[in-house]
């Protein structure tokens, strides 16, 4: 399987204030993305290089209550409290060319494979039914895009580049074994400590760690 970092996601309590706060940190304003009717969320997105992008996501206040629990743990009290402070790192997403095989061979539950769409783009994504993030976002979601150019090719590129994803876990050997089974151990750095996720990025404001 050809696995690569597809995108990395931060959450906000609301998209407008989150966009403003993030701009102060990274020096550019993340462009408006679109809406996710199934989840009643909306986002901002921008390319961070070929085949990769950054996402800022929030609950869409104009959308109806969804028929299921929202993704990215956005309905969880812990996440709501974290995002009330500032935009925070939520999770990362790995692009795979065989999503069914990835899910079937995974040593941990990645969730169900859900068909998603936003505008004219469609994709398949692993989403736990309870809306949680496996290992609080340390274990990524997996995505398989419908045939065609990667969405980053039509997104604005404002010079943000991802240097490194760092995953902190109390049992790094356990996480490393899971990653080796998923064939993603080359995609992130694992360290020991209290569970945490961070994205190290180059920005017009210099090198910044988003956590």
Residue 85: enclosing H or E segment and its boundaries? helix 77-85
- pTM of the shown model: 0.96
Q: So where are the chain's domains?
A: 4-148
CATH superfamily, with its number, for domain 4-148: 2,3-Dihydroxybiphenyl 1,2-Dioxygenase, domain 1 (3.10.180.10)
Residue 78: enclosing H or E segment and its boundaries? helix 77-85
> Tell me, what's the pLDDT at 1?
54
- Walking along the chain (211 residues) 10 residues at a time, the average pLDDT comes out as 92 98 98 94 96 98 96 97 98 97 96 87 94 97 93 95 98 98 97 98 98 97
Residue identified by tokens 């409290």 is 81
> Tell me, what's the pLDDT at 67?
94
> Tell me, what's the pLDDT at 117?
81
> Tell me, what's the pLDDT at 200?
98
> Tell me, what's the pLDDT at 177?
98
Q: Phi and psi (nearest 5°) for 140?
A: -75, 165
């Amino acid at each position: 399987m050809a696995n690569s970092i597809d995108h990395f996601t931060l959450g906000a309590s609301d998209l407008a204030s989150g966009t403003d706060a993030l701009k102060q940190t990274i020096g550019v304003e993340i462009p408006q993305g679109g809406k996710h009717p199934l989840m009643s969320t909306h986002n901002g997105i921008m390319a961070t290089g070929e085949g990769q992008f950054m996402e800022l996501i929030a609950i869409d206040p104009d959308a109806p209550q969804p028929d299921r629990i929202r993704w990215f743990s956005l309905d969880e009290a812990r996440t709501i409290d974290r995002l009330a402070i500032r935009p925070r790192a939520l999770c990362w997403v790995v692009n795979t060319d065989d999503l069914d095989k990835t899910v079937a061979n995974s040593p941990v539950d990645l969730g169900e494979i859900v068909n998603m769409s936003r505008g004219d783009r469609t994709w398949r994504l692993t989403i736990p039914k309870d809306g949680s993030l496996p290992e609080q976002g340390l274990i990524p979601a997996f995505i398989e895009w419908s045939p065609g150019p990667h969405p980053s090719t039509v997104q604005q590129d404002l010079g943000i580049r991802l240097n490194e994803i760092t995953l902190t876990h109390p049992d790094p050997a356990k996480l490393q074994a899971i990653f080796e089974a998923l064939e993603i151990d080359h995609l992130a750095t694992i360290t020991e400590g209290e569970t945490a996720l961070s994205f190290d990025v180059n920005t017009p404001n210099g090198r910044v760690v988003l956590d």
